Amino acid sequence: MAVLQYAIDVIEQDRALWLAREAMANGVRWVEAGHVLIKAASIGIVSKFKALAADCVIVADMKTMDMGAEEVKLAAKAGADVVMVCGAASDGTVEAAVAAARKYGVRITVSLMGIRDQYCRAKQLDQLGVDYILAHRGIDDKFEWFDADHTAVLRRMVADIKTPLAIGGGINESNYPLVKDMGFAIIISGRGITEAKDPGRAARRLVNLAANSTGV
């Protein structure tokens, strides 16, 4: 079974909190404060998400490129359970983030957004002690995961990478079946929930799909 992670990237704090409540009420247990939301509402939004449901896993997408230990400490103190670091950061930054995560009792996801060779970087990260590696398509990116070349890379990563893998970027109810049985531990949806006519219903349907998928 894969975990569904809901990435909230709106910039209005009140709407972000409403979306988080709707998602949690409909079975979402992993909720992400996206980096643009953190920039708009401050790191305090992480604390507000955690206060909604202490048993939910709160992910802080810090987009960390430098000062790995300090950014992990900041997110952890705010109540984050998982902190997201950029895969384009140096190995030193990733290692510092991992060390801080162990100190503060949180986990590290490394995003491969913007990495030209996601497979190669994932192989390197596999040796650095991170908790999750995220095959990540940005909102502004033009490619689709379901193009043949990208699907082949995803399958190669699942086959060769020991660290649990996540996938995010453009995932919604209609295309979820294309990735649900690839073997990802975490499947991330953002706009697929946020932009739905009924975000709560969309969240519930994706939760049900995740529950019936083959994860790690």
**pLDDT string in tens for the chain (216-residue length):** 889 999 999 999 999 999 999 999 999 999 999 999 999 999 999 999 999 999 999 999 999 999 999 999 999 999 999 999 999 999 999 999 999 999 999 999 999 998 989 999 999 999 999 999 999 876 666 666 566 677 888 899 999 999 999 998 888 888 888 777 889 999 999 999 999 999 999 999 999 988 876 554
Note the pLDDT of residue 102. 98
Could you tell me which residues are beta bridge partners of residue 136?
168
Q: Tokens 């519930």 identify what position?
A: 204
- DSSP conformational letter for 176: G
Tell me the Cα Rg of the chain: 16
What's the rounded Cα separation, in Å, for the pair 20 and 28?
Answer: 9
CA 164, CA 64: separation in Å to the nearest integer? 20
> CA angle, corner 59, sides to 56 and 60, nearest 5?
140
pLDDT at 1: 81
Angle at 202 between CA 167 and CA 183, to 5 degrees: 25
User: What's the predicted TM-score (pTM) here?
Assistant: 0.94
Buried b (16+ CB within 10 A) or exposed e, 20-56: bebbbebbbbbbbbbbebbeebebebbebbbeebeeb
What is the C-alpha to C-alpha distance for residues 41 and 38, in angstroms, rounded to an integer? Answer: 5
DSSP per position, 114-145: T-S-HHHHHHHHTTTT-SEEEEE--TT----T
Q: Give the C-alpha separation, 30 to 144, whole Å.
A: 24
